[in-house]
Amino acid sequence: MKILHFIDEIKMGGAQTHLLTIVKEMVLQHPEDEQKIIVLFEDNSLSEKFREINVEVICLNLRSFFQTKSFFKILQLLKKIIKKEAPDVIETHLTWSRLLANTAGFMVGVKNRIGFEQGDIYMNSIKFRFLNFMSQFLFHKIIVCSNQLKQWTNSTHKIFNYKLNVMYNCVDLSKYKSIANKKLDTFIDNPPKFTFVTVGTLGRGVNKRVDVSIKAIGLLKEKGHDVGLLVCGDGDQRNELELLANKLNISNAIHFLGMRNDVDQLLPNAFAFIHAAPYEPFGIVCIEAMACGLPAIVPNSGGIQNIVSNGIDGFVYEKLSENALAEKMEKLILNDEAYPKFTENALENVKQYDVALYVSELYKLYHAK
């Protein structure tokens, strides 16, 4: 079987890392199949991760075509590539790949066309709603990563439920380990007793609202708790967030670590994972943290809230409320004796998100008529 995976860009991001995770598992489970990644825009550093597992990455550099709105030319080019490759399956990830590469695959006659809707909630203008509605008729299935995202896709783009298939995102559990003896001092100097961690972009398009997490740390510091926050990620909000930490007089407790290639090693050394985005379709980093044995504290919105069992392997709090977040963080701090049970429950919970199970289900769709 030959599978073409189309994606807008290859950079550090949820959709991209998820694609890398599943392709790695595909190579292991089905070494006889041919996988190929086709990138519409730039070829960023993540492409080397695919090449390391002998998966070819083809970068089309179509940015100039998009700038001139030459969509007919893009379709013709994609049709030519797909016809030459003659795949059995086309997978399309992110908005432009879903709309254009899938359309080209339909026109060429690829027998199985699957799209991934990862929650491009910021591309919801009337134009994109119409295009997404019309494009559903060209797909066999559209995979969404949570029931909440299924509801959003149905209500926003009016995509029919029978076209949507819920498959929760996955991680390679073998990559993440819980550790008993945490050594956070290998990452930061003089770590506090209770160091929380958050991971995600600090950009504006997809705003993870790290300011809420920083304010929660400030509230806990005011109450005398020895707490800190590791911020893994970067973006144009970083300066504002650093100014906020200075304004709250807690800059020594907020550690901006930038983009990291060792998040899997850093996570298990933290005390717990916190998240503050107002809407998260799923939250891969949450299951990565739980796979490291960390309790997770997440907002009550989007699909991420269903990952956590409140009071069992973490807590769910009222979204965008630093007071509610601080309250749940304090509850975990003061419940130190129960911490090992939280860890045990987190490790048990994430077993359902193993990539091996995910790929097995995905191949059922490949073979579906």
Q: Which CATH code fits 2-170+354-367? A: 3.40.50.2000
More confident residue, 60 or 46: 60
Which residue has better confidence, 43 or 364? 364
Helices and strands counted in the chain (H then E): 15, 13
Helices (H), the chain: 14-29, 47-52, 63-67, 71-85, 95-96, 102-108, 126-135, 147-157, 210-222, 238-247, 263-266, 284-291, 322-334, 339-349, 355-367
Check pLDDT > 70 for residue 52.
Answer: yes
- pLDDT value of position 282: 87
Q: Identify the band that residue 125 occupies on the pLDDT scale cut at 50, 70 and 90.
A: confident
End-to-end CA distance of the chain: 15
Identify the residue with better confidence: 279 or 332: 332
With bands split at pLDDT 50, 70 and 90, how would you rate the model's confidence at 337?
A: confident
35: pLDDT strictly greater than 80: yes
**Which tokens belong to 336?**
């130190």
**pLDDT value for 259:** 87
What average pLDDT is seen over the chain?
Answer: 92
User: What pLDDT score does 281 carry?
Assistant: 86
Per DSSP, the three-state class of 166 is strand
Q: Which residues contact 12 (CB under 8 A, 6 or more apart)?
A: 44, 45, 46, 259
Q: Residue 120's pLDDT band (boundaries 50, 70, 90)?
A: low
**Token pair belonging to 275:** 């998240």
Strand order in the sheet with 314-317: 254-258, 227-232, 194-199, 272-274, 296-299, 314-317
Q: Token pair of 35, please?
A: 């996988």
With beta carbons less than 8 A apart as the criterion, state whether 202 and 233 touch.
yes
* Residue range 133-177, pLDDT digits in tens: 899 999 999 999 888 889 888 988 899 999 999 999 999 999 999
pLDDT value at residue 322: 97
Q: If you average pLDDT over residues 37-47, what whole number do you get?
A: 85
Residue 185 has pLDDT above 60, yes or no: yes
CA 50 to chain centre: 18
**Cβ-count burial 164-177 (b if 16+ within 10 Å, e if not):** bbebbbbbbbeebe
Q: What is the mean pLDDT of residues 300-329?
A: 95
Query: In the structure, what pLDDT confidence band is assigned to residue 2 with cuts at 50, 70 and 90?
Result: very high
Note whether 2-170+354-367 and 174-352 share their fold.
Answer: yes
pLDDT of 118 higher than 90: no
DSSP β-bridge partners for residue 57: 37
pLDDT at res. 121? 60
CA nearest to 306, candidates 107, 148, 140, 80 = 148
Q: What percent of the chain has pLDDT over 70?
A: 98
Given a cut of 80, whether residue 206 has pLDDT beyond it is no
Per-residue confidence (pLDDT) for residue 122, from 0 to 100: 61
| 174-352: CATH number | 3.40.50.2000
Beta bridge partners of 272: 196
Task: Decide if pLDDT at 369 tops 60.
Answer: no
Sheet containing 112-117, strands listed edge to edge, beginning at the edge strand earlier in sequence: 56-59, 34-39, 2-7, 89-93, 112-117, 141-144, 164-166
The domain locations on the chain are: 2-170+354-367, 174-352
- Distance of alpha carbon 325 from alpha carbon 215, whole angstroms: 9
**Per-residue confidence (pLDDT) for residue 176, from 0 to 100:** 93
Pairing of strands 194-199, 227-232: parallel
315 has pLDDT over 90:
yes
Q: Within 10 A of 154 (CB to CB), how many other CB atoms are there? A: 15
β-bridge partners, 233: 258
Q: Is the pLDDT of residue 230 over 80?
A: yes
Mapped onto helix, strand or coil, the DSSP state of residue 278 is coil
